[in-house]
Amino acid sequence: MRAIDVRAGLSRAEFVEQVRPACRPLVIRGAVSDWPLIEAGRESARAAADYIEALDTGEPVDVMVAPPVENGRFFYRDDMRGFNFRRERTALSRLVRLLLELEGQDAPVAIYAGAVATGAHLPGFSQSHRFDLLAGESDATQRLWIGNASQVASHFDMSDNFAVVVRGERRFTLFPPEATPDLYVGPLNITLAGQPVSMADPLAPDLARYPRFARALDSAVQATLQPGDALYIPALWWHHVEAFGPFNILVNYWHNDVASGGAFLALVHAMMAVRDLPREQREAWRVWFDHFVFGGAAAHAADHLPPHGRGVNGPGSPERNEAIRQFLIRVLSEPE
């Protein structure tokens, strides 16, 4: 498996001008080595827990708990009738104390809280833990992920992502978007935590059941991150995440977000509206999609019309987007 490209330093301008347009993952070593929580974590797990407790508002967060037999893998049950973990609600202070209690056990439960907005739960954290690579990005919300040893199944995000390891070690295995057909995607609407996941396990691939997954592994890239390291994950890149040790912390930033649910909702609707049509009709609609969406000249498909007569065919704008929303609401609300 190939290693993800690495940089020892990266400026905001270099990220905007070079890295983001390339749409390739990148590891930035020592990106935030001076964060206070990283320094506390280097001292001890208890010091990191004390730091979090001192800021915690006490507002409950969502927590996932899997029994020891699952070896930290949060996933579906074997029969696909539910999940192999349970969900709870607790404060971050209670969670970090529980992680300290579990630290000495040979086979502890796997537990973690994910996507915790620091602004709501740890006031002041973002001010003392700045991430300059996203300076000026108004949609880059800082979120906390904390737990013990665990595996997050391969999934993708519809926005760009920066993952910053704060305590412990994490290994990321990434697959490019073109590997999607070989990843055996699970249900799109019944998910572990929001996004669809790959049914194939990179740590124990069952190639008899998922033979095309061998091709996906050939295209995969991997990196192991230490505290202070950051990983840039472009939108739609699949990523499997392993957290090691009894007290592991990560901070992430989703940014460069797509609007209105992005292409994912269009994909789901197309499964109903297009995929089940006769082949000849599907091929006819392919021409429409190429002309209005995917073709190189799609943005100019309405240039033959005067600006006031282009309707939803016209170039992107707030007014055009609102017209599309109203058109879809009206059409989808009509009885069949």
pLDDT (tens digit, 9 = 90+) per residue, 125-142?
999 999 999 988 877 889
Beta strands in the chain (DSSP E): 2-3, 6-7, 26-28, 61-66, 73-74, 86-90, 110-117, 141-147, 150-155, 160-175, 221-225, 230-233, 238-255
DSSP 24: -
For residues 334 and 191, the model is more confident at 191
The per-residue pLDDT for 256 is 76
- Tokens 């070989």, residue? 182
In the structure, what pLDDT confidence band is assigned to residue 310 with cuts at 50, 70 and 90?
confident
Closest CA to 132 of 123, 119, 121, 142: 142
Go through the domains of the chain in sequence order and give each one's CATH number: 2-255 (2.60.120.10), 262-333 (no CATH)
Each residue's pLDDT tens digit, 33-66: 899 999 999 999 999 999 999 999 999 999 999 9
Residue 131 CA to residue 73 CA, distance in Å, equals 30
Site of tokens 């996941």: 197
Which residue(s) pair with 237 in the sheet? Answer: none
Report pTM: 0.91
pLDDT, one tens digit per residue, over 211-245 is 999 999 999 999 999 999 999 999 999 999 999 99
Phi, psi of 149 (to 5 degrees): -60, 130
Angstrom distance (rounded) from CA 50 to CA 70: 29
CA atoms within 13 A on the CB side of 209: 9
Please, are residues 18 and 231 in contact by the beta-carbon 8 Å criterion?
Answer: no
> What six digits make up the tokens of 179?
């590997």
| pLDDT at residue 164, rounded to an integer | 98
